[in-house]
Chain A
C-alpha cells in the first residue's frame, strides 16, 4: 500500500494544524508570562483564531472558485464540503467569543492560567474533525479530543466543589456514552469491512433493514449520540455540568459542543444510517418530543439562571432534532439556521450571566438580575433581546429558526409533532418572561457592580447584532444554510 502526504492533504488539514500549533504555543509561552499579564494568552489565542479563519476562508473560496462540491483529503478520511465549512465557522465564532469573555471572569475566580486557552483551542480542534471527518476512527478520536478538553474545562475551578462535581458527573456519563458510541462503530466496521462512512452507507443499504446487526449498531450509536446532544432521556448530565462549570465554559459548552455534536449526529444519520430511515425516524420523533417536554417543564421551576438556561438548551435540542425527523430540504436548512441563531442568542444570554459575576456574588440566581433596568438599562435591553429570541418571538432571529422547523414538519405531515412544538413555545415564553419580569419590574437590590470588560461588551454586542440581523435581514444567512446542505439534498 502506497501512501503519500500530498499538497491537498495539507490544504485540507491546515485549520486544524494551525489550531494545534497555537495551542502548543500558548502552553510554552505561558511559562514566561507574569501572573498579572495572563491576558497575553488570550491575545495569542485570538491571533490563532485569525489564522484559522483565514485558512478556512481559503478552503471556502477554493471550493467556490473551482465549482467543487467537496474536497477529499487523506484518502477519504477528511471531506471538506459546505456542511463542514459552515460548522467550522460556527466553532470559530464561538471559540473567539469564549476567549474574549474569559479574561475578566478568570481573574475574578483567580484561576487565570494559560492551560485554559490551550484547552479551548484543542477542544476546537476536536470539533473541526467532528464536522469534517468521514471516517470512524478520526471521528472517534476527534470526539474524544473535544470531550476530554471539556471535562477538564468544566472542572477548571479546582477549589470550587460545584465545579468538581460537575466535572465528575460530566466525565462519567460522557465516557459511558462514548463507550456505547464506539461499540456501535465496531459493529459498523464488522458490517462494512471498512471504517469509511461512504463504504458503510453502501454496506448497510445493501442489507435487509431488519438485520439485527444493523439494529444493534443503530441502537448503540443513537444512544451515544443522543447523550452528546443532551436529548432526553439522556439529558441528566447537562443541567449539572452547566451549573457547576465556570460560566464562560457553560456558554461555550452549550453552544460549540452542542453544534459539534449535532454536526456529528447529522453526518452519521444522513450518511451511513440514511437507508434505515424508517427505523429511526419514529424513534427520533419520540425522543424529540420527550426532550422538548422535559426541557420546558423542568425549566419552569428553576431559580438558578444557569440551570434554567441548561433546561432551555435541552428543549432547543429537541426542536433541532425535529428538523432531522422531517428530513426534507426545508427541515435540514432549518437545522442549519437554528444552530447558527442558537449560537448567538444562547451565547449572549450566558455572557450576561458571566457579567453578573463579581467579587461578592456568583451571580447565577435569577434574583441577582433584579432591577437591572434601573441600574444598567443597556444590559437589561440586551438580555431582553436574547430572551425574546430564545422564546422565538419575531422580529428576532429565534423566530426564523423555529419557523423553518415548523414549516418542514407541516410539509412532511408530522402534524402532531408540529402542534406540540408550537404549544411548547408558549411554555418557554412563560419562563423566559420570568427573567424579564425580574429585570424590569423588581426593585433594584444591592448586589455589587456588573463586572464588564471590553471583551464582554464586544461579545454582547456581536451576539445582539447578529440575533437581530438574522431576524430582519435573513437572506445571506439562508444562502449560507443552503450551501451547508449535503450535495444530494441541494
Chain B
C-alpha cells in the first residue's frame, strides 16, 4: 500500500519535473525542474531496492552533472535567450511524430500488461541493491567495460579542456 502510494508520488515528480524541464522559458528553471525529476528517479531506485544506485544518482547526477549545467548557464549569458521564443519552427513536425508514437504507446496499453512477457528470473534478489553485490558483478563480469569507461572519461576530460580553454 505504502509502496503503491510512493510509486505514484515519485512517478509524478519524475514526469512532472520532466514536462516542466522542457517547457520552462528560463534555462535555470529548466535545470531546477530537471533536478526535481532526477530526485524522483532516485526515489524510484529506492523502491526497486537499488540503494547504491539511488546514492549514485543523487551524488553524481544532482551533485555533479547538474552543477555543471548550472555553471554553464551562469557562464553564458542567457538573459537574452529568455526573452526569445522557446520553440523552434520544427515544432509541428516534431509534435506530429510524437503524436504517432503516443498513439502507438496507447495501443500497447490497451493490449494490457499481459502481453508483456519478461525474461525468466535467475536468483531471488534478496540483497539486490547491496553495494557489495553490485561491486562483485561490476568487477568480474563487467570488468572490461569498467576499464573502457576510464578511457571514456579521459576522452571527456581532454574534450572539455580542449574545447573550453582559450590556449592549449
A–B touch (CB < 8 A): the answer is yes
Binding site for B on A (CB under 8 A): 1-3, 5, 13, 20, 23-24, 27, 74-75, 77-78, 113, 115, 118-119, 122, 125, 129, 137-138, 140-142, 144-145, 148-149, 151-152, 155-156, 158, 167, 190-194, 203, 207, 211-213, 216
Check B6 for interface membership: any CB of A closer than 8 A.
Answer: no
Name the CB-closest residue of B to A30: B168
| Closest 5 pairs between A and B when the two form their complex, measured CB to CB | A193-B119, A3-B140, A152-B159, A137-B145, A141-B148
B32 to chain A, nearest CB (A): 22
Check B144 for interface membership: any CB of A closer than 8 A.
Answer: yes
Which of B136, B141, B149 has most A Cβ within 10 Å?
Answer: B141
B155 in contact with A78 (CB, 8 Å): no
Name the CB-closest residue of B to A193: B119
In Å, the complex CA distance between A462 and B32 comes to 55
**CB-defined contacts of A213 to chain B, threshold 8 Å:** 116-118
Check B8 for interface membership: any CB of A closer than 8 A.
Answer: no
**CB-defined contacts of B159 to chain A, threshold 8 Å:** 119, 148-149, 151-152
Q: Number of residue pairs across A and B with beta carbons under 8 Å? A: 91
B158 in contact with A193 (CB, 8 Å): no
- Could you list 17 further interchain pairs (A-B, Cβ under 8 angstroms) beyond the known A119-B155, A141-B145, A191-B118? A1-B137, A1-B141, A74-B143, A77-B145, A113-B162, A119-B159, A122-B155, A125-B148, A141-B152, A148-B155, A148-B156, A152-B163, A158-B162, A190-B118, A193-B121, A194-B119, A212-B108
**CB-defined contacts of A142 to chain B, threshold 8 Å:** 148
**CB-defined contacts of B98 to chain A, threshold 8 Å:** none
Name the CB-closest residue of B to A210: B115
**CB-defined contacts of B69 to chain A, threshold 8 Å:** none
Known A-B contacts A129-B148, A149-B155; A115 and B117 likewise in contact (beta carbons under 8 Å): no
B142 to chain A, nearest CB (A): 6
Known A-B contacts A193-B119, A207-B117; A75 and B155 likewise in contact (beta carbons under 8 Å): no
**CB-defined contacts of B121 to chain A, threshold 8 Å:** 193
In Å, the complex CA distance between A13 and B140 comes to 16
Check B70 for interface membership: any CB of A closer than 8 A.
Answer: no
A-B contacts, 19 listed (Cβ < 8 Å): A3-B140, A20-B151, A23-B151, A27-B158, A74-B144, A75-B141, A115-B162, A129-B148, A137-B145, A138-B145, A141-B148, A141-B149, A145-B148, A145-B155, A152-B162, A191-B118, A193-B121, A212-B111, A216-B108
In Å, the complex CA distance between A231 and B28 comes to 36
In Å, the complex CA distance between A149 and B155 comes to 6
Check B122 for interface membership: any CB of A closer than 8 A.
Answer: yes
Name the CB-closest residue of B to A23: B151
**CB-defined contacts of B155 to chain A, threshold 8 Å:** 119, 122, 145, 148-149, 152
In Å, the complex CA distance between A141 and B122 comes to 25
For chain B residues 89-117, which have a beta carbon within 8 Å of chain A?
108, 111, 115-117
In Å, the complex CA distance between A151 and B119 comes to 36
**CB-defined contacts of A156 to chain B, threshold 8 Å:** 162
Known A-B contacts A119-B155, A145-B148; A190 and B162 likewise in contact (beta carbons under 8 Å): no
**CB-defined contacts of B149 to chain A, threshold 8 Å:** 141
Partner of B158, one of A115, A192, A203, A211: A115
In Å, the complex CA distance between A77 and B156 comes to 24
A201 to chain B, nearest CB (A): 13
In Å, the complex CA distance between A74 and B141 comes to 8
**CB-defined contacts of A155 to chain B, threshold 8 Å:** 163
Check B19 for interface membership: any CB of A closer than 8 A.
Answer: no
A138 in contact with B158 (CB, 8 Å): no
B118 in contact with A78 (CB, 8 Å): no
**CB-defined contacts of B141 to chain A, threshold 8 Å:** 1, 3, 75
In Å, the complex CA distance between A213 and B145 comes to 26
**CB-defined contacts of A138 to chain B, threshold 8 Å:** 144-145, 148
Instruction: Type the 1/0 row for B41-69, where 1 means its CB is closer than 8 Å to any CB of A.
Output: 00000000000000000000000000000
Partner of A122, one of B118, B119, B151: B151
**CB-defined contacts of B116 to chain A, threshold 8 Å:** 212-213
**CB-defined contacts of B119 to chain A, threshold 8 Å:** 190-194, 203
A288 to chain B, nearest CB (A): 21
Check B120 for interface membership: any CB of A closer than 8 A.
Answer: yes
Name the CB-closest residue of B to A216: B108
Known A-B contacts A191-B119, A193-B122, A212-B111; A152 and B140 likewise in contact (beta carbons under 8 Å): no
In Å, the complex CA distance between A211 and B119 comes to 13
A16 to chain B, nearest CB (A): 8
**CB-defined contacts of B118 to chain A, threshold 8 Å:** 190-191, 213
**CB-defined contacts of A216 to chain B, threshold 8 Å:** 108
B115 in contact with A211 (CB, 8 Å): yes
In Å, the complex CA distance between A145 and B158 comes to 12
Name the CB-closest residue of B to A190: B118
B136 in contact with A1 (CB, 8 Å): yes
A122 in contact with B154 (CB, 8 Å): yes
In Å, the complex CA distance between A167 and B158 comes to 15
A8 to chain B, nearest CB (A): 13
**CB-defined contacts of A167 to chain B, threshold 8 Å:** 163
B147 to chain A, nearest CB (A): 9
Known A-B contacts A3-B140, A158-B163, A193-B120; A152 and B145 likewise in contact (beta carbons under 8 Å): no
**CB-defined contacts of B137 to chain A, threshold 8 Å:** 1
**CB-defined contacts of A193 to chain B, threshold 8 Å:** 119-122
**CB-defined contacts of A152 to chain B, threshold 8 Å:** 155, 158-159, 162-163
**CB-defined contacts of A2 to chain B, threshold 8 Å:** 140
**CB-defined contacts of B168 to chain A, threshold 8 Å:** 113, 115
Which of B142, B156, B159 has most A Cβ within 10 Å?
Answer: B159
**CB-defined contacts of A212 to chain B, threshold 8 Å:** 108, 111, 115-116
In Å, the complex CA distance between A77 and B168 comes to 37
In Å, the complex CA distance between A360 and B152 comes to 37
